[in-house]
């Protein structure tokens, strides 16, 4: 009996050494999370440096990849010959607006603009585009290029050439110019502010992640030392 009792006691002690109660687990997790947050926050200087470095890298990348593009916009109002059928007028004008949207990039228009501006035909074709304003007969024409001088020259010629082709070559009504070419605007193809913010956030995530891993490694080492000490005390 004493031998069996001793064996049962030993098994009980082993079980107590191996099994942790649910409450102890919860308490340990809470303490670990708190310690982890304190540990990571204590490294705020390194995290801040990482954010600055990554933000600088993002800003530099944006500066290298970004290209300044220049653009100018104008609008024309599409009309049709007068008729007693008002519905037909509205429908025909709408159809013509979409026809003119496609017409703007045809050789009929592009070749004439290229000839007047001394700009390559392909460059002119890439620079100009048109879009019908939803629910209207307005056609918005846009000139966009990374060459400011090209935008200036094309914007100056696109309406006169378009007007001539529509009125004389196609025999349509004269276009009503709703908006003259706007002042040339410059914009970056890649947003430096966006990459600056992305870089800063990325730097925070990377630095915080590094210190999180270091904390776990340190925590594991401490846990092993504590368990080893407990086992030694139990066996003593």
73 and 53 in a common domain: no
* 24 belongs to a structural domain: no
Q: What is the pLDDT of residue 112?
A: 92
* 146 belongs to a structural domain: yes
What are the two backbone dihedrals, phi and then psi, of residue 132, each rounded to the nearest 5 degrees? -80, 130
CATH number of the domain where residue 183 is located: 3.30.70
pLDDT digits (tens, 9 = 90+) for 106-150: 999 999 999 999 999 999 999 999 999 888 888 999 999 988 999
**By the 8 A CB rule, do 60 and 201 touch?**
no
179 and 72 in a common domain: yes
169 and 75 in a common domain: yes
Q: Which two tokens stand for residue 142?
A: 């846009």
| Residue 55 pLDDT class (50, 70, 90 cuts) | confident
Residues β-bridged to residue 162: none
Residue 113 sits at the vertex; the CA angle it makes with 177 and 93, to the nearest 5 degrees, is 35
228 and 177 in a common domain: no
For 63: left if phi > 0, alpha if psi spans -120 to 50, otherwise beta; the answer is alpha
Averaged pLDDT, 91-101: 76
Find the helix packing angle between 192-235 and 44-65, rounded to 10°: 150
* 59 belongs to a structural domain: yes
Q: What would you measure as the largest C-alpha separation in the chain, in angstroms?
A: 120
How many folded domains does the chain comprise?
Answer: 2
| Residue 81 pLDDT class (50, 70, 90 cuts) | low
114 and 153 in a common domain: yes
**By the 8 A CB rule, do 198 and 61 touch?**
no
Please enumerate in sequence order all residues whose Cβ is within 8 A of that of 173, keeping only pairs 6 or more positions apart, or say none. 79, 80, 81, 166, 167
* Total residues found in the chain within this entry: 236
| Residue 226 pLDDT class (50, 70, 90 cuts) | low
Residues β-bridged to residue 71: 144, 185
166 and 122 in a common domain: yes
> Which domain range does residue 196 map to?
38-66+190-236
51 and 93 in a common domain: no
167 and 90 in a common domain: yes
215 and 151 in a common domain: no
137 and 227 in a common domain: no
Cα–Cα distance measured from residue 38 to residue 27, given in angstroms and rounded to the nearest whole number: 17
Residue 94 sits at the vertex; the CA angle it makes with 91 and 96, to the nearest 5 degrees, is 110
* 225 belongs to a structural domain: yes
| Residue 3 pLDDT class (50, 70, 90 cuts) | low
- The separation between the first and the last C-alpha atoms of the chain, rounded to the nearest angstrom, is 24
141 and 111 in a common domain: yes
SS (H, E, C) 171-229: CCCCCEEEECCCCCEEEECCCHHHHHHHHHHHHHHHHHHHHHHHHHHHHHHHHHHHHHH
157 and 122 in a common domain: yes
* 19 belongs to a structural domain: no
Q: Name the domain boundary from 188, 209, 227.
A: 188
Looking at mean pLDDT, say which of 91-100, 137-146, 189-198 comes out highest: 137-146
* 32 belongs to a structural domain: no
* 3 belongs to a structural domain: no
* 26 belongs to a structural domain: no
Q: What is the pLDDT of residue 7?
A: 55
């Amino acid at each position: 009996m004493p031998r069996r009792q001793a064996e049962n006691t030993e098994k009980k002690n082993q079980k107590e050494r191996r099994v942790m109660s649910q409450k102890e687990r919860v308490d340990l997790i809470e303490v670990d999370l708190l310690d982890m947050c304190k540990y990571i926050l204590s490294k705020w200087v390194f995290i801040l440096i990482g954010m600055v470095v990554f933000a600088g890298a993002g800003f530099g990348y944006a500066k290298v990849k970004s290209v300044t593009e220049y653009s100018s916009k104008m609008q024309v109002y599409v009309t049709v010959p007068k008729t007693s059928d008002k519905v037909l007028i509205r429908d025909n004008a709408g159809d013509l607006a979409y026809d003119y949207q496609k017409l703007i990039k045809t050789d009929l228009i592009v070749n004439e603009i290229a000839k007047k501006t001394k700009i390559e035909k392909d460059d002119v074709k890439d620079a100009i585009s048109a879009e019908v304003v939803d629910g209207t007969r307005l056609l918005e024409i846009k000139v966009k290029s990374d060459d400011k001088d090209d935008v200036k020259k094309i914007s100056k010629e696109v309406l006169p050439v378009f007007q001539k082709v529509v009125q004389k070559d196609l025999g349509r009504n004269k276009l009503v110019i709703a908006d003259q070419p706007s002042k040339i605007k410059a914009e970056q193809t890649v947003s430096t502010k966006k990459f600056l913010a992305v870089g800063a956030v990325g730097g925070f995530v990377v630095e915080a992640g590094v210190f999180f891993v270091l904390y776990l490694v340190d925590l594991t080492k401490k846990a092993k030392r504590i368990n080893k000490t407990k086992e030694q005390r139990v066996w003593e």
